[in-house]
Amino acid sequence: NDQVYRGLDAQHKNAHRAVQETAGVYAYSGDRYAQCYYTASNGGQTESAFNAWGRERVSYLPITEDPYDLENPDSEVRRAMLPKIVTDGVVFSPAFTDAIKAALVPHLEKQGINPALESFRIDQVVGAQVHTARHGGDSRLMTRVQLELMLSAQRARQADNDEEVSISGAVPTQQPGQSPWLPMAPLSASMKVDLDYFETVEALLHLSINRNANELVSVRETDDAFVLEARRYGHGVGLSQRGAEWMAKTYSWTYEQILRFYYPGISLRTRDIKQHTRAPLQADFLSTPGPIPTATPRPTLMPLTQTPAPEQWVVAVHGVSRNSTLNLREQPNLSGKVLVQLYYGQKLLVLEKLSDGWLHVRTDVLEGYVMEQYVERVLSSE
């Protein structure tokens, strides 16, 4: 049974109805039960079972384009913007800039350009694309990012072969030697450089979604930037929860249509399910009075005594239920190590707001990152 069901809340009557109406429906491939894997979001393309796990090729778990997952605004997406006009030679961050420049060094050496990192500057990003599919074929799981750049750099100074030759035999006074490099100047031609996406780009641009390196990355060009977008939350095999949600909500697809889209070639069959009545338990402990129940005390929240600086502010964890928690992570992504679980109402000092929906926060005890959507700003009077 591949249904995921954790009980019934009164406000979720449709979920209860869906479970009841599909009880006893089985998916078959031939005469065998189908393995109906599912994922949170496939990023716009389902992954094949073979590519994900390498065990066997499963006919009803292929690579399939999924525009419905892409259309759903709740599908997980991470973005990083690379401006076309580069300010102060820094592309996104100093660390990402250093990675680009290190990859450029062999190209500069071949062209007789000073390869010292401080001797050249990135002025423009004129192109960006992803390439090299890990699995080949129709797979859009790309592993390389190519950037096309305009640089300012130092070319080698040409030796002067027309120096005047002395015939007097006198040795001229030696002048201080010139630098072998000309002053930094814009290069006339662009230069292309390749970076490994999962080893380099993903971490430096904070694009990681999963622990496994299987996100789908693409490039979108705007008037003034190239935007890298990473998608796929989970292994990507089988049904996408975000895609199925959008099919039903926006296009009124039935569950049969959704299942046949994600598991092509399966057949759906209904079997009788008998509800078995359990025999009553006969045990002494069932009639033995227990202790009087008491309410579980609320955990003590971490202290926050620091006064915010002018560019800082205080938030509180409000975007979770009172019985739930919010993860404080070591890095600003969902694969970052969980430092601690923050309880409802925990106050946090915001040190920095990042561009991808994360906040850099701290208490008097710990410092880390939380997602902005789960906190609310605290007014100074609170």
Q: Which of 4-18, 63-77, 272-286 has the lowest mean pLDDT?
A: 4-18
Digit-coded pLDDT (tens) for 44-87: 999 999 999 988 899 999 999 999 999 999 999 999 999 999 99
Q: Looking at residues 173-189, what average pLDDT do you find?
A: 80
Q: Looking at residues 167-189, what average pLDDT do you find?
A: 70
Question: What pLDDT was estimated at residue 103?
Answer: 97
Q: Give this prediction's pTM.
A: 0.69
Token pair, residue 263, equals 């598991």
Look at residue 3 and tell me whether its pLDDT is greater than 60: no
Look at residue 5 and tell me whether its pLDDT is greater than 90: no
Q: How many residues does the chain have?
A: 382
Secondary structure of the chain in HEC code, one letter for each residue: CCCCCCCCCCCCHHHHHHHHHHCCEEEEECCEECCCCEECECCCEEECHHHHHCCCCCCCCCCEECHHHHHCCCCCEEEEEEECECECCECCCHHHHHHHHHHHHHHHHHCCECCCHHHCEEEEEEEEEEEEECCCCCCCCEEEEEEEEEEEECEECCCCCCCCCCCCCCCCCCCCCCCCECCCEECCCCEEEEEEHHHHHHHHCCCCCCCCCCCEEEEEECCCEEEEEEECECCCECEEHHHHHHHHHHHCCCHHHHHHHHCCCCEEEECCCCCCCCCCCCCHHHCCCCCCCCCCCCCCCCCCCCCCCCCCEEEEECCCCCCCEEEEECCCCCCCCEEEEEECCCEEEEEEECCCCEEEEECCCCEEEEEHHHEEECCCCC
Domains of the chain: 13-73+235-270 (no CATH), 77-156+182-231 (no CATH), 313-377 (2.30.30.40)
Question: What pLDDT was estimated at residue 36?
Answer: 96
Question: What pLDDT was estimated at residue 381?
Answer: 58
Of 299 and 193, which is predicted with more confidence?
193
User: If you average pLDDT over every residue of the chain, what do you get?
Assistant: 89
Digit-coded pLDDT (tens) for 196-215: 999 999 999 999 999 889 99
- What are the φ and ψ backbone dihedral angles of 126, each rounded to 5 degrees? -105, -5
Secondary structure of 252-290 in HEC code, one letter for each residue: CCCHHHHHHHHCCCCEEEECCCCCCCCCCCCCHHHCCCC
Q: Looking at residues 118-129, what average pLDDT do you find?
A: 97
Q: Is 11 left (phi over 0), alpha (psi -120 to 50) or beta?
A: alpha
Digit-coded pLDDT (tens) for 313-357: 999 999 887 878 999 999 998 878 899 999 999 999 999 999 788
Q: Which of 1-5, 149-153, 360-364 has the lowest mean pLDDT?
A: 1-5
Confidence of residue 160 (pLDDT cuts 50, 70, 90): low
Query: How far apart are the C-alpha atoms of 306 and 28, rounded to whole Å?
Result: 60
Question: What pLDDT was estimated at residue 165?
Answer: 42
Question: What pLDDT was estimated at residue 8?
Answer: 54
Of 70 and 3, which is predicted with more confidence?
70
Question: What pLDDT was estimated at residue 2?
Answer: 56
Question: What pLDDT was estimated at residue 4?
Answer: 57
Confidence of residue 11 (pLDDT cuts 50, 70, 90): low
Q: Looking at residues 116-139, what average pLDDT do you find?
A: 96
Question: What pLDDT was estimated at residue 173?
Answer: 44
Digit-coded pLDDT (tens) for 288-304: 777 777 766 777 899 99
Of 2 and 233, which is predicted with more confidence?
233
> Are residues 25 and 18 in contact, defined by beta-carbon separation less than 8 angstroms?
no
Q: Looking at residues 164-183, what average pLDDT do you find?
A: 58
Question: What pLDDT was estimated at residue 382?
Answer: 57
Query: How far apart are the C-alpha atoms of 251 and 245, rounded to whole Å?
Result: 10
Would you call 207 exposed, middle or buried from its count of C-beta atoms within 10 A (0-12, 13-18, 19+)?
buried
Of 286 and 261, which is predicted with more confidence?
261
Q: Radius of gyration over alpha carbons of the chain, in Å?
A: 30
Q: Looking at residues 95-102, what average pLDDT do you find?
A: 96
Confidence of residue 7 (pLDDT cuts 50, 70, 90): low
